[in-house]
Amino acid sequence: MENFAVIDLGSNSCRMTITQIQEDGSYTVTHRLKEMVRLSANENATDKPTLQPDAIDRTIAALKSFAAVYETLPNLTIKAVATAATRKASNQKKFLKRVKSEVGLDIEVIPGTTEAYYDYLGVVNTLPTTNCVMVDTGGGSCELVLITNGQAKELISLPIGAVSLSEKFGLNDQVSASQLFQTMTFVDKIFNSVWWLRNGLNLPLVCLGGSNRTLAKINRRQCNILNFEDIHGYRLRDNAIYDTFNTVIAQDAAGRAAIPGLAKDRADIIVGGMVPAISLMRFLDSDRMIFSQNGLREGILFEHLTNLAEQNAKVSE
């Protein structure tokens, strides 16, 4: 039996999943932990932004709280990865060195394309996704995958996310028509630069990331669906999605925090977080979204399970 811990350090949140894997390959998720660390908060707007001291302190505290959980477990394997915020940071090496020194954790900074591929593995192994466009909107980046006949045909990571867009266009509180127009125009131009994206015309979107999942949670609360946070495989048509987005952008931060299904700690970044998927839906003339609870961490787990199966097969030969 192995305890396999996956830590995902993003721009907005830090998450950990621990899975107990048996000798026969069966597995059970035993822990799901999340801390909102806002690692990319108040980065200077340059090609090489700098992680700020307060954000680093929050992240170190979160990682220590995770360590207190996994250090008690036997036969432990840890895979810790960092994405957009750490990937872009000018003080990346200093930050990772401090994590190693204070937490004893080695974090791998993965490329955006690797992040997108892990997202794909998490989705394709848990949802019937044959032909679609997958979009994972994080705090500092947006991963897109064109899935054709169940395979990742094209994939890319774009530098747009909930925190970065909210800070760039001032979307944290009341949003004006001008701010929203500028944001969506900016995102549309980025999508236009992705040559293969039009090959996803009319395909459904499979949506990952906290901001995208919030669309589903708000709708499920409005419909009084029990266990509204269980959104894996949930489907929404375009009209319901646009109505929900309209409800969100009509409110200031305090009003958004009061919307059932919308976590209060996302109220100041939720508009920026929803814009990429909403814009992509219009860009591709898609009529529905399918929501996935599984993404990067689950993708890493499936990769690990595949490797274990291959090792066991070699031993038995």
Summarised one tens digit per residue, pLDDT across range 251-273 is: 999 999 999 999 999 999 999 99
Q: What average pLDDT score do residues 237-242 get?
A: 96
Contact status, residue 204 vs residue 288, Cβ threshold 8 Å: yes
Six token digits for residue 270: 């939720």
Q: Which residues of 7-19 are buried (b: 16+ CB within 10 A; e: fewer)?
A: bbbbbbbbbbbbb
Residue 44 has pLDDT above 70, yes or no: no
Contact status, residue 158 vs residue 141, Cβ threshold 8 Å: yes
Q: What average pLDDT score do residues 120-135 get?
A: 95
Distance from C-alpha of 132 to C-alpha of 49, rounded to nearest angstrom: 33
Sign of the CA dihedral running 23, 66, 226, 294: negative
Quickly state the pLDDT bin for 228 (edges 50, 70, 90).
confident
Quickly state the pLDDT bin for 45 (edges 50, 70, 90).
low
Distance from C-alpha of 243 to C-alpha of 253, rounded to nearest angstrom: 18
Look at residue 68 in the predicted model and tell me its pLDDT. 97
Domains and CATH numbers, the chain: 1-109 (3.30.420.40), 112-294 (3.30.420.150)
Look at residue 79 in the predicted model and tell me its pLDDT. 98
Quickly state the pLDDT bin for 46 (edges 50, 70, 90).
low
Q: What is the pTM of this model?
A: 0.92
Residue 303 has pLDDT above 60, yes or no: yes
Least confidently predicted of 48-52, 116-120, 300-304? 48-52
Which of 92, 72, 73 is CA-nearest to residue 84?
A: 92
Other Cβ atoms less than 10 A from the Cβ of 34: the count is 14
